[in-house]
């Protein structure tokens, strides 16, 4: 989706159309320019304003912009509308984030004849009916499709024909390859590797010596290869949920409450699928977009009250106190199906309690019924 938060705000405030707009989460913006840019319109980006930039700097670069406090519930609502529409026409759909989706059209040639024409119609519908501009990239794997959508922005469609992936990538900077951060970028540049084309011509032995095992993956991506698997295909390997904050958050109690809510939702989903998890991962993202994760093995379970304390301890080890966060996430992995024997052994008071709670969640809104003991 193109400048998604801004695009949603323009649905509610048409006067913002065509103007430089900066979305932020600072309730006291008029008092102090604290916080970071959550999203910037393309009109604001022309002045050098981008997501993650400190608000005071964004104001210096574009003081005439409209600085708008964001409404995250609105963004969730319109993200769900996009997902609902796409799911009607696409056999395999994966939501990567609130404003990014992958879909697989393999085998749909007979159903939709010309796939490029079909995707063009999808794009037109999203633009005209949902009033949201978007850019779409088409390619033989997720890596190529993602980059094509990036280079298609704003509001265009780019198709990388099979067999042309390497030529398509060659002229672009190595910074566009997912997995190349600043440290890796600077190291490669030091050795005279500036473009993806130059990277693709390196030998595996050279890159592995420079970068370790990640050298294999980066070389494959430079040659146009990439992941084709989707989260919706095959047995589920993990389940995760995360929440992005528009307001800078450093309140530990509040952050742990969000972890508990996410964990409760995940465990409910696991129980619906008769799955249990054996590994817990906590993810945090600071306001400078630095992302940290930490995982730990846990006793196999799908009961949140058995996982809460472990999650909080993991968070305490991971989080640097006094530094604001913009995102927090929870993932449960190493999933395994409950066997009939496990179901029999778990038939305790706790099992009976969760069965009763889940019945209420199915009958009413699952978010209304909570097992958390704090408000």
* Integer Cα distance of 65 and 157 in angstroms: 28
Q: 250: which residues sit within 8 A by CB, 6+ positions away? A: 321, 322, 323, 324, 325
Is residue 204 part of the annotated active site? The answer reads no
Q: 269: which residues sit within 8 A by CB, 6+ positions away? A: 239
Tell me the Ramachandran region of residue 299: left when phi exceeds 0, alpha when psi lies from -120 to 50, beta otherwise.
beta
* Integer Cα distance of 52 and 248 in angstroms: 12
Which residue among the candidates 69, 94, 100, 242 is catalytic per the annotation? 100
Query: Helix count (H) and strand count (E) of the chain?
Result: 16, 12
**Residue pair 201/228 in contact by the 8 Å Cβ criterion:** no
* Integer Cα distance of 131 and 147 in angstroms: 24
Q: 45: which residues sit within 8 A by CB, 6+ positions away? A: none
Catalytic residues: 100
């Amino acid at each position: 989706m193109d400048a998604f938060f801004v695009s949603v705000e323009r649905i509610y405030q048409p006067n913002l159309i065509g103007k430089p707009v900066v979305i932020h989460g600072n309730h006291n913006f008029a008092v102090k320019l604290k916080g970071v840019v959550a999203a910037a319109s393309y009109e604001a980006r022309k002045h050098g304003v981008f997501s993650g930039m400190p608000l005071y700097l964004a104001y210096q670069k574009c003081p005439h912009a409209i600085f708008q406090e964001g409404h995250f519930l609105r963004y969730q609502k319109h993200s769900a509308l996009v997902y609902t529409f796409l799911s009607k026409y696409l056999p395999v759909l994966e939501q990567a984030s609130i404003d990014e989706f992958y879909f697989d059209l393999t085998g749909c040639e007979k159903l939709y004849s010309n796939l490029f024409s079909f995707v063009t119609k999808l794009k037109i519908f999203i633009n005209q009916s949902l009033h949201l501009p978007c850019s779409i990239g088409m390619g033989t794997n997720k890596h190529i499709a993602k980059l094509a959508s990036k280079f298609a922005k704003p509001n265009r469609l780019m198709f990388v024909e099979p067999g042309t992936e390497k030529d398509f990538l060659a002229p672009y900077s190595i910074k566009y390859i997912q997995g190349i951060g600043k440290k890796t970028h600077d190291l490669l540049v030091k050795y005279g590797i500036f473009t993806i084309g130059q990277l693709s011509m390196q030998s595996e032995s050279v890159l592995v010596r420079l970068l370790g095992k990640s050298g294999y993956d980066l070389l494959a991506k430079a040659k146009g290869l990439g992941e084709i698997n989707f989260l919706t295909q095959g047995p589920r390997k993990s389940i995760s949920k995360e929440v992005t904050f528009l307001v800078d958050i450093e309140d530990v109690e509040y952050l742990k409450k969000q972890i508990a809510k996410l964990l409760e939702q995940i465990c409910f989903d696991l129980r619906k699928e008769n799955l249990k998890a054996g590994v817990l991962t906590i993810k945090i993202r600071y306001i400078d977009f630095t992302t940290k994760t930490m995982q730990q093995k846990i006793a196999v379970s799908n009961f949140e009250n058995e996982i809460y304390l472990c999650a909080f301890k993991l968070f305490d080890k991971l989080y640097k106190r006094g530094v604001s966060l913009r995102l927090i996430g929870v993932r449960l992995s190493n999933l395994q199906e409950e066997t009939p024997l496990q179901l029999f052994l778990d038939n305790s008071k706790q099992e009976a309690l969760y069965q009763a709670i889940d019945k209420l969640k199915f009958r009413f809104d699952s978010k209304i019924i909570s097992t958390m003991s704090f408000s």
